[in-house]
Amino acid sequence: MKRAIITGITGQDGSYLAEFLLSRGYEVHGMVRRSSTENFERIGHLRSRVHLHQADLLDQLSIIEFLRDVRPREVYNLAAQSFVPTSWVQPVLTGEFTALGVTRMLEGIRLVDRKIRFYQASSSEMFGRVQETPQTERTPFWPRSPYGVAKVYGHWITVNYRESYDLFACSGILFNHESPRRGKEFVTRKISHAVASIKRGLQKELRLGNLDARRDWGYAGDYVRAMWLMLQQEKPDDFVVATGEDHTVREFCRIAFDHVGLDWRKFVKVDRKFFRPAEVNLLRGNPAKARRKLGWKREVTFEKLVRMMVDADLERLS
């Protein structure tokens, strides 16, 4: 039986990846950090099928012990401080988790078993002030937040350990991917949750920041498949995973409100509080390499994703 470790198993992607690996017959081990209250909402339905271990990206020894206990074939490093605005409030902590945490994982692998295959959750935020559109694996990085800067470090340290120690280490440069399990602070879920609350009469308006921001939004369930595919190849490599389309926050609002028969212009208010010190205006990826080498393509379209998220929030509130 194949054995895999997922760091960040309690997060959006971790929960979908755990489901996916279980469906392929893996023994799944998740890293969870200690907290005074349990935070297993997204993996509640999987609790009896996954093995959870306490460890933390900040604690090198806990990672080494975890790897020694499990001796996995694959490690998916999804844990991070992943919310961009928080990275301005806690830039040092973001660097510790999102940047140095990757080195701690790689060091653990180097010490415990160099044959372990490693996936790093890199991000389109690394492109920031984009140098070309669409962005590919060769587009230069220009991150625009402490989060983006930390992810650039995580990307290059992954490449460096591959080149220095011949590790099977891959970096997936994933563009925004969403789902009903997305955290409520991210714009898509903030919108779908507000639409459902307004429809149910529980909320009156929705305050947002920059409605002109453009993102390449896909469905998380499709994207975890690409992570797994990267670790099944003959050689380690880096891949952009994206839909190849971009849409504005405004379009997301329009489709979401339309879906419940409401006019978004009556409910959405722009609030400067949600503007960022430095914005990423446009992200659109070119997934040609992933399509060609991994045979990956997205299944869920943008419109379907928006409706899926609104429906799930309506259901939750009913």
Residues of this chain that bind ligand F7E (CB under 6 A): 82, 84, 123-125, 175-176, 185-188, 190, 208-210, 213, 215, 249, 274, 276, 279-280
Could you say which of ligand F7E, ligand NAP, none residue 78 binds, taking C-beta under 5 to 8 angstroms by partner kind?
ligand NAP
Residue 318: count of CB within 10 angstroms of its CB: 8
Token pair of 221, please? 């369930």
Known active-site residue 219:
no
DSSP string of 179-221, one letter each residue: -TTS-TTSHHHHHHHHHHHHHTTS-S-EEES-TT-EE--EEHH
Residue nearest ligand NAP, Cβ-based? 11
Residue pair 96/103 in contact (Cβ under 8 Å)? The answer is: no
Cα 67 to Cα 75: distance, rounded to the nearest angstrom: 9
Could you say which of ligand NAP, ligand F7E, none residue 33 binds, taking C-beta under 5 to 8 angstroms by partner kind?
ligand NAP
Token pair of 127, please? 């492109």
Nearest to 153, CA basis, from 166, 162, 167, 143: 143
Query: What letter represents residue 72's amino acid?
Result: P
Could you say which of ligand NAP, ligand F7E, none residue 238 binds, taking C-beta under 5 to 8 angstroms by partner kind?
none
Distance of CA 145 to the CA centre of its chain: 16
Q: How far is the CB of 108 from ligand NAP (least distance, A)?
A: 13
User: Which entry of 19, 74, 125, 178 is annotated as an active-site residue?
Assistant: 125
Which of residues 18, 43, 67, 78 is near ligand NAP by CB under 6 A? 78
Q: Please identify, using beta-carbon distances, which residue of 72 and 134 lies nearer to ligand F7E.
A: 134
Distance of CA 193 to the CA centre of its chain: 19
Residue pair 79/10 in contact (Cβ under 8 Å)? The answer is: no
**Piece of 12-20, 132-140, 249-257, 305-313 that binds ligand NAP (CB under 6 A):** 12-20
Known active-site residue 251:
no
Which of residues 87, 94, 103, 123 is near ligand NAP by CB under 6 A? 123
b/e 135-160 (16+ beta carbons within 10 angstroms → b) = bbeebebebbbbbbbbbbbbbbbbbe
Which of residues 11, 143, 146, 285 is near ligand NAP by CB under 6 A? 11
Cα 143 to Cα 15: distance, rounded to the nearest angstrom: 27
* Interaction between residue 145 and ligand NAP (CB under 6 A): no
Which of residues 29, 177, 189, 259 is near ligand NAP by CB under 6 A? 177
**Piece of 30-38, 133-141, 227-235, 265-273 that binds ligand NAP (CB under 6 A):** 30-38
* Interaction between residue 174 and ligand NAP (CB under 6 A): yes
Known active-site residue 123:
yes
* Interaction between residue 179 and ligand NAP (CB under 6 A): no
Residue pair 38/49 in contact (Cβ under 8 Å)? The answer is: no
In this structure, what are the phi and psi dihedrals at residue 269, rounded to the nearest 5 degrees? -120, 135
Could you say which of ligand NAP, ligand F7E, none residue 8 binds, taking C-beta under 5 to 8 angstroms by partner kind?
ligand NAP
Could you say which of ligand F7E, ligand NAP, none residue 31 binds, taking C-beta under 5 to 8 angstroms by partner kind?
ligand NAP
Sequence-distant (≥ 6) Cβ neighbours of residue 33 within 8 angstroms? 54, 55, 56, 57
Could you say which of ligand NAP, ligand F7E, none residue 209 binds, taking C-beta under 5 to 8 angstroms by partner kind?
ligand F7E
| Residues near ligand NAP (CB under 6 A) | 7-8, 10-14, 31, 33, 35, 39, 56-58, 78-82, 97, 121, 123, 174, 176-177, 183
The set of catalytic residues is: 123, 125, 147
